[in-house]
A and B are shown apart, each in its own frame.
Chain A
Amino acid sequence: MSAYNSLTYNASLCIGCGECMMACAKAKTGSADDLSQSRIKIVVAEEGKYEAALCRQCGDAKCVMNCPSGALTKNQANGLIDWNADTCVNCLLCTVGCVYGGITFEASVGHVAKCDTCGGDPACVKVCKSGALGYVTTAAIYNDYGKEEDLFAPGLAACQGCNSELMIRHVLRKVGKNVVVAAPPGCIPGMGTVGYNGKAGAKVPIFHPLLTNTASMLAGLKRTYERQGREVTALALAGDGGASDVGFQSLSGAAERGERILFICFDNEGYMNTGMQASSATSFGSWTSTTPVGDKLQGKRTDAKNMPMVMMMHNAAYVATASSVYMEDFYEKLDKALEASKKGFAYLHLYAPCPSGWRFPAGLTIDICRLMVESNFVTLWDYEPDRGLVFTHPTDKPKPLESYLKAIGKYRHLAQEQVDRIKKLLEDRLAMLKRFAR
């Protein structure tokens, strides 16, 4: 499926000139005289500020759902909501459903009217001088994977703002049904993926390994399927505690043996499911419930174990770091990791900021993810033994580290010398990574 195109409206750029409405009315009726014929309506929100009433061509369109006659349909080829004059019964229920004012009754023609993007060459965009209106291509990955079945049950109960739930749903969409999923104790089974009291949380085989044995249990399973001549993906969805602390031995052993496993570590820097205790992946200075802040102690006293670098030194078939802000990058790495896991051990390290445990508002998760990369607090790269390390999102002009640290409550207490130590560590680690880069 190709990517959809879509109209965009940036209210902060709109000057309320009305040119778009005139262009639309002209395109649809041949005359710019009657602005009520326009399918885009610019309205005054408050003095000097504007909003647009415009069809958003929704994925789960309320107008389509409300339509009793099948006159409104989502066109799977181009993503538009199509209106069919022949079947419309003029009940206007669609106009009640739409909260964007994107479909309205036009008295002059006696039926509803809505934007059809002028067949892919929208007249309104061409005349918009302020740049408020745009015509963009939506992300191809949405269309590639949005149609794939979500293999987790609806209603998983992750914390508000947690992006791990989003990411595991993406992972399984990509991996598909021919998989066995290991979800060791932590946030991922905690949100219900394995299930409760006999009820399953996923539509694929899934189990709770021990916190300690995810990689070895999967290895035994995978070897058995290999012996039976069956190709089944062995997938771990683990946390940083289960990967870097008690689960580390089995992980290291499986990587050394080149077991054909895809191990994804969701790094939220600690044991967030059980009350935000520190793990060895917790960053220096972090407040956690076991590295508290007081007169004697000021957060975690040691640097985070850098798991992706450790796994790279195991000569794993594929190692990468990823962030949910850069989804194309993530999908590319997931692709490579899946492929690599057919011949060796693949390790994907996903940075997963935790609003509950790190103390930032749930609405800021994606911003924190982005800032984390843009301040060089973490670095996105991937590695294959015969190719070396490649930076996939180099940040040459990083944002100040302080802007990242200040956005997160668990660093609120940091003294300048602690900040300096983090800076030094990040510089050292980046320099070290660069030595592995091709």
Chain B
Amino acid sequence: MTVQTKAKGKIIVVDGNEAAAKGVALARPDVVAVYPITPQSSLVEALSAMIATGELDAELMNVEGEHSVLSALQGAALAGARTYTATSGPGLAFMFEPYIRQPGLRLPMVASLVTRDTLTPQCVWGGHQDAMLVRECGWIHMYCETVQEILDTVIMGYKVAEHPEIMLPVNVNHDGNYLSFGVTSCELPDQAMVDDFLGPKSINWHAALDPERPMSVDPLTGNAGGAGPSMFVRYRKGQTDAMARSLQVICDVHADWAKRTGRAHAPLVEEYRLDDAEIALVTLGSMTGAAKDCCDALRDAGKRVGIIKVKTYRPFPVQAMARALSKVKAVGVVDRSVSYGWNSGPMHHDVLAAMAKSGFVKPCVSFIGGLAGADMTQSHFERAFDIVAKGDVPPGPIWMNEKD
């Protein structure tokens, strides 16, 4: 359903997967490769339908698995194509081999991770475990809080990925179930505006498989002697430098988008009612909505609480996080996934490390909730605020849904 309003774009009513598809279509990819997996399937179904009707002029590749999905897109990008796909959980695991290669090839693209908890136990519902397991692969990871933010961030993702100083793949992550199937109204940006925002694309100026520019792509590099070791280091260092540079580019791109659309999504870290807060919860993704409602209710009751929402998780925005943390006395970090090696949530030690790197340490409690689609309600966050307020830091994580 489409309603014309005074807003710059049309108002549409869509779920998160459709919103992502709409954003992708506005970014005009050349090649879209698809393979279905819950809870992502309706996203690539929507894209396939748009290509079938001609609404989106792109090459649709119905390949035989996620491994080939990303492989085909790498080949396409090396021929100059703007590319897109989406996946979840086991699909991401199967995609892992080409996935870890993409950043090293410096091939820009946007791929949606419609996040899902991992096996086993067998489950098909939301959770961040899949995306967390690939957080050290060199992709930029941005997590969305709302359906509108999904649509906007997919488009912004291309601008970040294809920035000549960055040239890295971007995962735009949205939560399986809550966001993928949650229906709401959102504004569809104008195509001409998006075209102008993204500008001309240049995907393979640095590495191409093109008879008109013959070159060897990815010859063996490394080993213990000759030119190898320092050459390999230059590749790796170039990659990590680009990751570091991307923080500024992400900020610039969000600012540009805000200017054009009036929608100012926090690019790295959002501080919500934080300025006079004593304690805060660090959140990621769709849980932030309930956390903010809880925060508002507690504020109404006179409690000085705030929320620190992480949008850009990789590279980790250490300075922005430290700036936010400096305003509070204690913090709780709410993860929708676990770190087996640290007996906490993975973002919990990102926050600890950000504090250490910034020269201060504050009480920091690890909360783990929302695994495999479990509810994260206002009352869950209220309990979390209570625990943080007490000032004790238990040795292990608090399992928020353990007694649901």
Interface residues of A (CB under 8 A from B): 177-180, 189, 194-210, 212-213, 215-228, 232, 249-250, 252-253, 256-257
Return the contact of B216 from the options A178, A206, A225, A227 (Cβ within 8 A).
A206
Whether the Cβ atoms of B64 and A249 lie closer than 8 Å is yes
Chain A residues near B222 (CB-CB < 8 A): 197
Closest 8 pairs between A and B when the two form their complex, measured CB to CB: A220-B72, A253-B64, A220-B75, A195-B219, A213-B71, A200-B216, A221-B75, A216-B68
**Total interface residues in chain B, CB < 8 Å:** 45
Give the residues from 46 to 92 in chain B that come closer than 8 angstroms, CB to CB, to chain A.
59, 61-65, 67-69, 71-81, 83
Whether the Cβ atoms of B211 and A223 lie closer than 8 Å is no
A-B contact pairs, 8 of them (CB 8 A): A196-B219, A196-B221, A197-B219, A210-B101, A213-B71, A213-B97, A217-B71, A220-B72
Count CB-based A-B contacts (< 8 Å). 155
Chain B residues near A209 (CB-CB < 8 A): 71, 75
Chain A residues near B59 (CB-CB < 8 A): 223-224, 226-227
Chain B residues near A252 (CB-CB < 8 A): 64
- Bitwise, B225-248 to A at CB < 8 A (1) or not (0) is 011100100000000000000000
Whether the Cβ atoms of B30 and A227 lie closer than 8 Å is yes
- Counting CB contacts under 8 A, is B21 at the interface? no
- CA A184 to CA B371, docked complex, whole Å: 39
Chain A residues near B83 (CB-CB < 8 A): 220
Chain B residues near A194 (CB-CB < 8 A): 216-220
Whether the Cβ atoms of A224 and B61 lie closer than 8 Å is no
- CA A215 to CA B72, docked complex, whole Å: 8
Whether the Cβ atoms of B226 and A197 lie closer than 8 Å is yes
Interface of B is mostly: mixed
Chain B residues near A204 (CB-CB < 8 A): 211, 214
Q: A179-B211, A180-B211, A220-B72 are in contact. Are A198 and B61 (CB under 8 A)?
A: no
Whether the Cβ atoms of A219 and B61 lie closer than 8 Å is yes
Nearest residue in B to A178 (C-beta to C-beta)?
B211
Chain A residues near B228 (CB-CB < 8 A): 196-197
Chain A residues near B65 (CB-CB < 8 A): 249, 253
Chain A residues near B64 (CB-CB < 8 A): 249-250, 252-253, 256
Nearest residue in A to B231 (C-beta to C-beta)?
A197
Nearest residue in B to A177 (C-beta to C-beta)?
B211
Q: A195-B219, A197-B220 are in contact. Are A225 and B98 (CB under 8 A)?
A: no
Q: A194-B220, A210-B98, A250-B71 are in contact. Are A205 and B76 (CB under 8 A)?
A: no
Whether the Cβ atoms of A207 and B68 lie closer than 8 Å is no
Chain A residues near B209 (CB-CB < 8 A): 180, 205, 207, 221
Chain A residues near B72 (CB-CB < 8 A): 216-217, 219-220, 223
Chain A residues near B208 (CB-CB < 8 A): 205
Beyond A213-B98, A250-B67, 5 additional pairs, beta carbon < 8 A? A180-B209, A197-B221, A220-B33, A223-B76, A257-B63
Q: A194-B216, A196-B219 are in contact. Are A217 and B211 (CB under 8 A)?
A: no
- CA A305 to CA B78, docked complex, whole Å: 33
Among A202, A221, A227, A250, the one with the most B-chain Cβ atoms within 10 Å of its Cβ is: A221
Chain A residues near B392 (CB-CB < 8 A): none
- Counting CB contacts under 8 A, is B210 at the interface? yes
Q: How far in angstroms is the closest Cβ of chain A from B182?
A: 32
Nearest residue in A to B203 (C-beta to C-beta)?
A224
- CA A208 to CA B105, docked complex, whole Å: 11
Chain B residues near A195 (CB-CB < 8 A): 216, 219-220
- Counting CB contacts under 8 A, is B31 at the interface? yes
- CA A366 to CA B71, docked complex, whole Å: 37
- CA A198 to CA B211, docked complex, whole Å: 18
Chain A residues near B216 (CB-CB < 8 A): 194-195, 199-202, 205-207
Q: How far in angstroms is the closest Cβ of chain B from A130?
A: 53
Chain A residues near B63 (CB-CB < 8 A): 216, 219, 253, 257
Chain A residues near B97 (CB-CB < 8 A): 210, 212-213
- CA A206 to CA B226, docked complex, whole Å: 23
Return the contact of B79 from the options A196, A200, A221 (Cβ within 8 A).
A221
Chain A residues near B219 (CB-CB < 8 A): 194-201, 208
Nearest residue in A to B232 (C-beta to C-beta)?
A197
- CA A157 to CA B9, docked complex, whole Å: 61
- CA A208 to CA B67, docked complex, whole Å: 16
Whether the Cβ atoms of A221 and B67 lie closer than 8 Å is no
Chain A residues near B75 (CB-CB < 8 A): 209, 216-222, 224
Whether the Cβ atoms of A208 and B98 lie closer than 8 Å is no
Return the contact of A220 from the options B73, B101, B217, B227 (Cβ within 8 A).
B73
- Counting CB contacts under 8 A, is B258 at the interface? no
Whether the Cβ atoms of B31 and A220 lie closer than 8 Å is yes
Q: A224-B79, A224-B81 are in contact. Are A200 and B68 (CB under 8 A)?
A: no
